[in-house]
Structure 1
């Protein structure tokens, strides 16, 4: 039972830590941030299982983490309020070609990161963006301005 209580406490700590770290995808992490997350995983294991190296202790710890993950998932599914609290909400970061500095600061994003994501989406300049939204999963969605002239396909 002690392993289950320790796993529950560590789950809550890790969940809060990940929420505080912000909306970054694994691919957007710096090498140092990735290493920190791996080290945290090892520290969690030590804190949860203490000196219990048994298969039963490991199974209980994994089962507890899976249980709480499932509970939070169901809470998000069943309640929009819980979903906003647990998963976060989308945040507008560009509006009609203008970068919203407050939103960038809140999510620790740089203009260079937005421009990089724009290029990956095939958008050449901020002037082409009606809206850019940082989604709860860390991805950035771009909506092009509709008042721009359509580009004619090039002839070869």
Structure 2
């Protein structure tokens, strides 16, 4: 049975640690829950382990462990900031999305490089309501392990087949062209498009500079969606 001193020490440690975790979760934002990549997963487990050590072990120096907890959170915030500014760092930490199905064909090389069994792929398809690989135009394995699916036009809801409307295959896979004022060159290259073409497209929308664009995406029909930066922020 715990003596009075041990009980109150554990009680105090628990309350203070809980308050610190609540504060850190608040300043670290929603990414830990909403976009759980492998790096985020490891970070969450580590912070939880340090917090558990603080509460459960009397021989753990409280100030040292609290410092480690706060430093780990600061490092996580720093890495998150760097990854928003550098696509290379983000790719190094979180890898990059992989196209695993194209035009109804499973890309075996991509499955092997991501160590995904075909049975897991078909399970992810079923979770998205897709029971036939041939119905998929593109399937992208995201960095958080989820599967994004772009169905073939004939299989998409709103049933053009039902109304006997002509079915046209998409010209492009919807892709990010500009993120936070930076042109994504590898996406342009993959779509056989040029930077000059992109600049002409944004100028058609009355935008004079790429720096004004927060986000731009090419749609399946070749049009470009543009979201300008909020100058009030």
What interval of TM-score do these two structures reach, taking the shorter chain for normalisation? 0.5 to 0.7
1:144 is aligned to 151
2:80 is aligned to 73
1:127 is aligned to 134
1:88 is aligned to 95
Partner secondary structure for residue 112 of structure 2:
helix
The higher relative CO (CA closer than 8 Å, separation ≥ 6) is in 1
Alignment of 1:99-138 (within 5 A): 99-138=106-145
> Equivalents in 2 of 1:136, 1:124: separation in Å?
23
With structure 2 as the length reference, what TM-score do the two structures score? 0.42
> Equivalents in 2 of 1:65, 1:144: separation in Å?
41
Partner secondary structure for residue 96 of structure 2:
coil
> Equivalents in 2 of 1:96, 1:52: separation in Å?
60
Deviations 1:101-151 (A, max 9, x none): 111111111111111111111112001001110111111101101145836
> Equivalents in 2 of 1:52, 1:95: separation in Å?
56
> Equivalents in 1 of 2:60, 2:142: separation in Å?
40
Counting matched residue pairs gives 112
1:59 is aligned to 66
Deviations 1:17-67 (A, max 9, x none): xxxxx96xx8xxxxxxxxxxx7xx869x98xxxx96011111011112111
Point out the structure with max Rg over C-alpha. 2
Gaps of 5+ in 2: 1-36, 163-233
- Give structure 1 regions of 4+ aligned residues with deviation exceeding 4 angstroms: none
> Equivalents in 2 of 1:147, 1:92: separation in Å?
21
Gaps of 5+ in 1: 1-21, 27-37
With structure 1 as the length reference, what TM-score do the two structures score? 0.61
- Residues 1:98 and 2:105 are matched in the alignment: yes
Alignment of 1:28-39 (within 5 A): none
> Equivalents in 1 of 2:119, 2:75: separation in Å?
37
> Equivalents in 1 of 2:91, 2:134: separation in Å?
31
